[in-house]
Amino acid sequence: MSYAIIKTGGKQYNVEEGQILRVATIDEKEGAKIELDALMTGDGKKTNLDGGKVSAKVVGHGRAKKIIVFKKKRRKQYKRTQGHRQNYTEIKIEKI
């Protein structure tokens, strides 16, 4: 059971081989192979802080569910409703 901590899109993720993960949009086509920098790797017994590389494959692109943003000022009859859908990329971790 090997794992790694990777950083992409300004966030850190704890990943294992075979895991499918949703991350911020990556400009690669579906089926493309990408390499991500690992901040830390480990195998359950010892950890390695000098990192390494993590190989992943782009599974697909999509958009998350809509989030409703609602603004209101009391007693002033001011209301604004806005929706937001975040883009994402699904990747599958192949090798650590």
Q: What's the pLDDT tens digit per position in 8-31? A: 999 999 999 999 999 999 999 999
How far apart (Å, rounded) are the C-alpha atoms in residues 1 and 41? 11
Q: What is the DSSP letter of 2?
A: -
Q: Is 84 helix (H, G, I), strand (E, B) or coil?
A: strand
Residue that is written with structure tokens 């958009």 in the block: 63
pLDDT tens readout for residues 36-92: 999 999 888 888 888 789 999 999 999 999 999 999 999 999 999 999 999 999 999
How far apart (Å, rounded) are the C-alpha atoms in residues 91 and 59? 5
What are the residue boundaries of the structural domains of the chain, listed by start?
Answer: 3-95
C-beta contacts of 10-13 below 8 A and 24+ residues apart = 12/39
Q: Is 3 helix (H, G, I), strand (E, B) or coil?
A: strand
Strand 78-84 to 67-73 pairing: antiparallel
